[in-house]
Amino acid sequence: MNLRQAATLCVALSICALLIVPGNFPGLSGDARITLAVFAIATCAWIGTPIDDTYIALGAGLALTATGVISSDELFGTLGDDTVWLLICAFILAAAVARTGLAGRAAAFLVGGARTVRQLVHLTTAALVVTAFAVPATSGRAALAMPVFLALAKALSDRKKLVVMLALLFPTVILLSAVATLIGAGAHLITVSVLWEAAGERIGFTEWLMIGLPLAVVSSHLAAEVVLFTTTGREDRRGPVHITAEQIQEHSDKPVTGPWEPAETRCALLLATVVALWCSEPLHRVPPAVVALIGAIVAASPALGTVRLKDALKTVPWSLLLFMAATMAMGVALADSGAAEYLVGGIPLDLPPWLFLTVVIAVSTMAHLILQSRSARSSVLVPLVVAAAVGAGVNPVAAALASTAAAGFCHTLPASAKPVTLFADIPGTPTYTPRDLLRMSAVLAPMTAALVLLFAVAVWPLLGVPVR
């Protein structure tokens, strides 16, 4: 056992020992004590041990069920939540898109039009933002974008600094643009579940899109400028660029130019239809999960589909879904037992709304240095943020969304997020160093936090999410 593991174990055991003594923490119910003890152990295990995050979450959910804090129906019922089904079906749709080669065509169309370095950066950024609608989860988008990056890296092999800049641009934009859609990250679905269970507020795909897409577009393009200026000099940016379709074709096993194949046409029409139905939910009232299920059935159908169902199901991250379900159950326990309210009860909450949101955003932005899992960060933070927001007189929806959006920043270290890890070590291709990440993060972290705060207090109220 190393020093970090020993320290986290001591912290967890100390908290549990304090909670066991009946005289400590008057007013805290038995269920709340058990919940806090389980929560402390799970959080310390996430931080300080190499044990799989999903295993820890399932163990915590089982402990809460065995002690009677939550029922077995509440534990297992989270797997039937419509947001879980939405994510499953979205991954099936993503598998169908990946099979057709549409990503390569889109890359050739967009990036091929770049003539300057800045055009290349912002066209790439725009393309990566769009992928948030086609591929759920940031790691899946990073894997889909890797062949495009390799093609660009080969075409710019004589300009090493530009290759390093692009290696940093891809994961940066993928992570920040995830907030555009409800399916962009598992943390979003946890936030939606906590808001429904703790505050009775339901956020659908359309509501999230209206709130998240503007932030995703602005933050991604500002981040692109930060990456450009922290990794390249004026001379590096001055020369022209020219990326041909042939260069992108070398890294794709599907045609990126020429007439569309029937499968590509069907898949593009299906994806466009599903996204359109998601965005128009207030008009037809069909839940997004049902729309996604219809799309998944069509995408895997023998006549119209482009992927077999059993192959598509292999791409679904079942571990992530189990983690989400277990942490949703933990959130229910925190809210129903009164543990969350007790934790925030001793915090001075008589703050102006803007200052309260500033504290929430700052903590959420820095949380990735302790909890590397984005979903785990939301599982820990959002229930507490919602409870604190109610006590402070702040709209819990605004507070939860601000926390979740700020937690999307996780660029400081190579191990902070899977996309950052993936692009940090590419054999045969120059990429960024930890020093490059720190230099970029020193600018990007405060900028991202300030931007989230600006949206929370000035933009989101115009979109129906007031601060109070």
Using alpha carbons, select from 345, 383, 446, 361 the residue that is nearest to residue 43.
383
- In whole numbers, what is the pLDDT of the chain averaged over residues? 83
Give the per-residue pLDDT at 251. 63
| Residue 81 belongs to a domain | no
Give the tens place of pLDDT for each residue, 16-31.
777 777 767 777 788 8
Looking at residue 276, its amino acid is A
Give the tens place of pLDDT for each residue, 324-363.
888 888 888 887 888 877 777 666 667 788 888 998 999 8
| Residue 32 belongs to a domain | yes
Give the tens place of pLDDT for each residue, 113-147.
677 888 888 888 988 888 888 777 787 788 777 77
| Residue 370 belongs to a domain | no
Q: How many domains does the chain have?
A: 1
Tokens of 428: 């045969």
Quick one: how many helices (H) and strands (E) in the chain? 24, 0
| Residue 461 belongs to a domain | no
| Residue 10 belongs to a domain | yes
Q: What is the band of 386 on the pLDDT scale with cuts at 50, 70, 90?
A: confident
Mean of pLDDT values over 45-54: 81
Q: With 80 as the cut, is the pLDDT of residue 42 above it?
A: yes
Q: With 90 as the cut, is the pLDDT of residue 224 above it?
A: yes
Distance CA 306, CA 35 (A): 46
Give the tens place of pLDDT for each residue, 173-199.
999 999 988 888 878 888 888 888 777
Burial of 294 (0-12, 13-18, 19+ CB in 10 A): middle
| Residue 381 belongs to a domain | no
Q: Measure Cα distances from 47 to 9, 11, 380 in Å.
A: 10, 11, 12
- Our measurement of the distance from residue 224's CA atom to the centroid of its chain's CA atoms, rounded to an integer in Å, reads 18
Q: What is the band of 367 on the pLDDT scale with cuts at 50, 70, 90?
A: confident
Distance CA 448, CA 468 (A): 22
Give the start-end residues of each E strand in 29-137: none
Which of the given ranges, 196-210, 373-387, 426-440, 449-463, has the highest pLDDT on average?
449-463
Using alpha carbons, select from 189, 170, 180 the residue that is nearest to residue 215.
180
| Residue 39 belongs to a domain | yes
Q: Measure Cα distances from 267 to 16, 190, 213, 288, 313 in Å.
A: 53, 29, 23, 18, 17
| Residue 58 belongs to a domain | no
Mean of pLDDT values over 221-236: 86
Q: Could you tell me the residue range of the domain that residue 14 belongs to? A: 1-51
Burial of 274 (0-12, 13-18, 19+ CB in 10 A): buried
